[in-house]
Copies of this chain bind each other. A is one copy, B any other.
């Protein structure tokens, strides 16, 4: 029998696609093996176990989100940068629910520190620079919008907003306008 040509990278990428299609919770080594038409135990030459695979997807997801965020804020400042950053997060969550879920898989501190997560934090910091906030207020602002992006995306994608008027979209832009105003009011003289 010819070899399947498996690779840790190919496995992680295929698993990421499966997660987007079927849900990160539904992801299973057995399903991944079936996808490559390979026996389940064969995967263990490339990943240590299922948590290792999931950590790989998490890193991929954080990296992809960081790329989007970086491109979104490039050449923008102030309100424009804030809105672009926000939309990058939200569209990522809506287009890649599996990756978005994977991004919250718990990582060991070492991987976390060098992951796209830390990168995203820096990008957010930079995106808010034009507001001229103090050091600590910029941290508060990053945590505020990060929490909001995450919470809103979660609630929207599980349908929490779909049974009341108005559209989720409207609340999104209204909130972002509010944050813009708030951060301008936080600005130091």
Binding site for B on A (CB under 8 A): 104, 106, 109, 113, 117, 121, 136-137, 139-140, 143-144, 146-152, 154-155, 158, 160-161, 163-166, 168, 170-171, 174-175, 178, 181-182, 185-186
Contact of A166 among B136, B150, B154, B165 (CB under 8 A): B136
CB of B161 within 8 A of CB of A151, answer: no
Bound-state Cα–Cα, A158 to B140, Å: 17
Contact of A143 among B106, B109, B155 (CB under 8 A): B155
Instruction: State the copy count for this chain.
Output: 2
CB of A104 within 8 A of CB of B154, answer: yes
CB of B150 within 8 A of CB of A164, answer: no
Bound-state Cα–Cα, A158 to B144, Å: 16
Bound-state Cα–Cα, A7 to B143, Å: 43
The smallest C-beta distance from A98 to any residue of chain B, in angstroms, reads: 15
Q: List 15 A-B contacts (CB under 8 A).
A: A104-B158, A136-B170, A139-B164, A140-B170, A140-B175, A144-B178, A146-B151, A147-B147, A147-B148, A147-B150, A149-B151, A150-B155, A151-B152, A151-B154, A178-B182
Cβ–Cβ < 8 Å partners of A148 in chain B: 144, 147-148, 151
Cβ–Cβ < 8 Å partners of A150 in chain B: 147, 150-151, 154-155
A sample of 14 more A-B contacts (CB under 8 A), given A143-B175, A146-B155, is: A104-B158, A113-B163, A137-B174, A139-B165, A139-B166, A140-B171, A140-B174, A144-B148, A146-B160, A147-B152, A147-B154, A147-B175, A151-B151, A181-B182
Bound-state Cα–Cα, A185 to B184, Å: 13
The smallest C-beta distance from A51 to any residue of chain B, in angstroms, reads: 12
Contact of A161 among B143, B160, B185 (CB under 8 A): B143
Cβ–Cβ < 8 Å partners of A143 in chain B: 152, 155, 161, 168, 171, 175
